[in-house]
Structure 1
């Protein structure tokens, strides 16, 4: 597994945050002169540029793996519930984890948003990608093919970061008939190009810009990354296509979603993990499953110490060391008894305070993230489910059924024998197969479903009726105050 051991790359990621975008940095003008010289010096040759690219990935990895983002879609959608406290003063007590207190109750506040760091860090990563794109053509010691590869990865990271921002801060694509509702600010230039006050694009324009970045990148990718480590550690042509397929799915561009996911399934040279190895591959520490298309792996220091991983929120180490989140019964009840995916849940009995008395209650922790796992960005199973949904919308229910059955057969679940109720069955299949991987809330919104959380919900608001302005987060007030052209989301 690839870890970012290069200290220069790590320092460069930090250096880039000083040149964060207008959306996330008020003191840019004070820091620009000294920082700009450092950036120019860093990016003057290929070695420095590759350290910059590594730093860009470091920032992206930290943003999707840390904070609230990795649990957001699953906890809001109802896949997760909370585990009892191990702290002496609150032993056995169940409460909403402090990082998500507001958003879990659908009452996030723009003045102190649970997602504020995700917003600013996303635009910082985007600014990093823009700086790379602005300096790469001037490299005196890189070939055109090497420059093109660097551009391709920076463009894809820029597109991916904007797409995630759109998922969190903009209503789903078909919220309005022409996608004319508010999208996000799309930054295509770093702040060294000048201080601007950009307005939010429409969602339609946001998606056009995302797709344009990815398609440009696909024409630039070389056969191999310039960075060291396994191919799955960084964007390549296949994982960029996986992102594009997901974007097309979110846009409900069914033809392109079908064709792109189909291309990946047929030509990526990646195969689904077989039934016999499925559980063992998820249980192996530190390594991704073989069907991974992209995993943002975690950094380690030179002595091998990891800074954190997805086992922190989700894992179970001992009776006193475990994550804040376990599977809800809402999720567990979806699996048939013979479905091998049920084996991915580790059952543990934990004393829980109920009406001032301790009761032994069962909690089910996922085995998907063992040891020091990285962030699962894309894997092949999702592509089968994208192709199935697109096929269904293109009036090919038999093809949709076949793709769903491919996933169900691998899981030893009962195969579908007809095409009745396929839309709902596909939604449930995605929920079972992709749980803990950050999809559920966005699937709910795309399908215009209500949010319904039952088991373990301790909020005053356990459900939300679609449509609602609370399906998305508020733009942090700090950024609204900084940019007079930045419009706030409804109800915030």
Structure 2
């Protein structure tokens, strides 16, 4: 079951720009399609299509929850338990995924549909008002680059697991899809090629985006995503510098108490805390939060909470916290234990927040023996202090990674952090084929240029 809030749909952004014809004989020129020169002929048309890109981005099978839930279920073995009845999620948790898995299928389809909307925007920049053109291009590139990044992390081998130039990644579709036939079915580009495109999109987005952009993508959002890409590649200088750029911008700050980071609708009127860099906005009229659906639970002591209570937190996770850590208290227990991070029915879906940037800078500085922005110990202690802990006297890589694990728990980092640091997930090595989603069978059946992942 998906919790779906009514959303407006941008028809101009549909993959093939289809419109329904009227059967009336009074229609002198009946049409079933609108030519792209008409559909995207004005700046306003392109702006509306860009809104459709965000609408696709916040879909429950994309950044509205599927990316994050898949990472947590695939990346956990003993700290979480899945007690729900949905076969698609049970397959992810058990690492016994079929090629017909609905999460793998819908995440692939809905992501590429959104990428196509971005391609429509990018193909029509010449009609956009000059004072808006750079921002609109930056937003479309940010969304497209982010989706390529998430897809290659889920459907391909991790960066550095073998030859990046030979490992199949995902198809790179960079122009609008007007029609599909056997001559233009895309093959999978290499992992290296996909990462190159991701960096190209996000770097250009960072250059084009404004520092402030209401609820939409900003320069700091692009830098935060770049820091993740570089960290995944083991490019610690790049990850450090992008994280440092966000921190030094001064546009976000660590907020206290820790609990004020969440419940954006229940206690913050729907507004993001000042620590948030970028999120998917959810209201009673628009948006969706599938993380709430599966991680959340209706807890009577906190009105306005909801969720299926499918994903439960186990003692193995709770026992990781030190005495006095306020984050250890941010759970509720009924028959099972649940994180409070995702109880809010209409809570915004967090993508990036400042604490992650401090932890990325700390890790990168430590690995490189550099001091850019602050020492690793200073950044580590910023997070520890906010959690109510005493300051550490030394910084180690294990301490930084442990702090990252606890601070960012259940926010969609688990699988990717374990893969990039080459840690086993249970008894499975980080590069087990069972930790990679299959190319959906329906795609394999139609597109003979695709190759399936190992083990499927």
The TM-score range, normalised by the shorter chain, is 0.7 to 0.9
For residue 380 of structure 1, report the CA deviation from its aligned partner: 0.7
Which residue, 50, 53, 56 being the options, matches 1:56? 53
For residue 48 of structure 1, report the CA deviation from its aligned partner: 2.4
Partner residue in 2 for 1:478: 442
Separation in 2, partners of 1:240, 1:314: 27
Partner residue in 1 for 2:375: 399
For residue 189 of structure 1, report the CA deviation from its aligned partner: 0.7
Aligned residue runs from structure 1 range 20-59, under 5 A: 34-37=32-35, 40-59=37-56
Separation in 2, partners of 1:5, 1:46: 27
Is the counterpart of residue 317 in structure 1 residue 298 in structure 2?
A: yes
Partner residue in 2 for 1:107: 96
For residue 243 of structure 1, report the CA deviation from its aligned partner: 0.7
For residue 256 of structure 1, report the CA deviation from its aligned partner: 1.0
Structure holding more helix per residue: 1
Structure 2 residue matching 1:110: 3-state secondary structure = coil
Partner residue in 1 for 2:387: 411
Structure 1 residue matching 2:209: 3-state secondary structure = coil
Aligned residue runs from structure 1 range 153-192, under 5 A: 153-176=139-162, 180-192=166-178
Aligned residue runs from structure 1 range 425-444, under 5 A: 425-444=399-418
Q: Rate the CA distance shift 1:342–1:293 in 2: closer, same or farther, 3 A.
A: same
Is the counterpart of residue 467 in structure 1 residue 451 in structure 2?
A: no
Which residue, 132, 136, 147 being the options, matches 2:125? 136
Is the counterpart of residue 279 in structure 1 residue 268 in structure 2?
A: no
Is the counterpart of residue 266 in structure 1 residue 266 in structure 2?
A: no
Contact 1:77 1:451 in 2 (8 A): yes
Separation in 1, partners of 2:127, 2:296: 46
Deviations for 1:277-319, whole angstroms, at most 9, x for unmatched residues? 3213424524433200001113643xxx765553222222247
Q: Rate the CA distance shift 1:205–1:380 in 2: closer, same or farther, 3 A.
A: same
Deviations for 1:177-227, whole angstroms, at most 9, x for unmatched residues? 5554222111111113875222212211111111011112222224554xx
Partner residue in 1 for 2:27: none
Structure 1 residue ranges without an equivalent (≥5): 21-32, 83-93, 226-230, 351-361, 453-462
Contact 1:339 1:413 in 2 (8 A): yes
Is the counterpart of residue 296 in structure 1 residue 272 in structure 2?
A: no
Structure holding more strand per residue: 1
Separation in 2, partners of 1:389, 1:179: 27
Structure 1 residue matching 2:337: 3-state secondary structure = strand
- 149-158 or 406-415, which deviates more: 406-415
Which residue, 53, 69, 74 being the options, matches 1:71? 69
Q: CA RMSD for the aligned pairs?
A: 2.7
Aligned residue runs from structure 1 range 216-227, under 5 A: 216-225=204-213
Contact 1:325 1:365 in 2 (8 A): no
Contact 2:71 2:412 in 1 (8 A): yes
Deviations for 1:422-441, whole angstroms, at most 9, x for unmatched residues? 22222221111111210001
- 433-442 or 388-397, which deviates more: 388-397
- 207-216 or 67-76, which deviates more: 67-76
For residue 115 of structure 1, report the CA deviation from its aligned partner: 1.2
Contact 2:423 2:430 in 1 (8 A): yes
State the number of aligned residues: 424
Contact 1:64 1:375 in 2 (8 A): no
Contact 1:293 1:379 in 2 (8 A): yes
Contact 1:312 1:323 in 2 (8 A): yes
